[in-house]
Structure 1
Amino acid sequence: MTTTDDRLRILRMVEEGQISAEEGARLLEAITDDVARVRARTAARPRSLRVVVTDLHSRRQKINVTIPASLVTVGLKLGARLFPRNASVTNDDVLRAIERDMPGRIFELQDLEEGERIEIFVE
Structure 2
Amino acid sequence: MSSKERLKILKMIDEGKITAEEGTQLLGALKKQEEHRSGATEGGAQWLRIRVSDLNSGKETVRVSLPIGLVNIGMKMGARFVPEIEEEAVMEDLAEALTQGMAGKIIDIVDEADGERVEIFIE
Q: Which band: TM-score by shorter chain?
A: 0.5 to 0.7
Q: 1:50 is aligned with what amino acid?
A: R
1:108 is displaced (CA, Å) by 1.2
Distance verdict in 2 for CA 1:56–1:104, change over 3 Å: same
Partners of 1:108 and 1:88 lie apart in 2 by 13
1:95 is displaced (CA, Å) by 2.3
Aligned length: 82
Root-mean-square deviation (Å) = 2.4
Q: Which residue of 2 aligns with 1:45?
A: 44
Q: Which residue of 1 aligns with 2:111?
A: 111
TM-score of the two chains, using structure 1 as the length reference: 0.56
1:64 is displaced (CA, Å) by 1.3
- In structure 1, stretches of 5+ residues that fail to align are 1-38
Equivalent residue runs for 1:1-123 within 5 Å: 39=39, 42-76=41-75, 78-81=76-79, 84-86=85-87, 88-90=89-91, 92-123=92-123
Q: 1:85 is aligned with what amino acid?
A: E
- In structure 2, stretches of 5+ residues that fail to align are 1-38
Contact 1:108 1:120 in 2 (8 A): yes
Distance verdict in 2 for CA 1:47–1:88, change over 3 Å: same
Identical counterparts, % of pairs: 33
Partners of 1:67 and 1:104 lie apart in 2 by 15
Q: 1:98 is aligned with what amino acid?
A: L
Structure with greater Cα Rg: 1
Displaced runs of 4 or more, over 6 A: none
Q: 2:98 is aligned with what amino acid?
A: I
Q: 1:86 is aligned with what amino acid?
A: E
SS at match of 1:44: coil
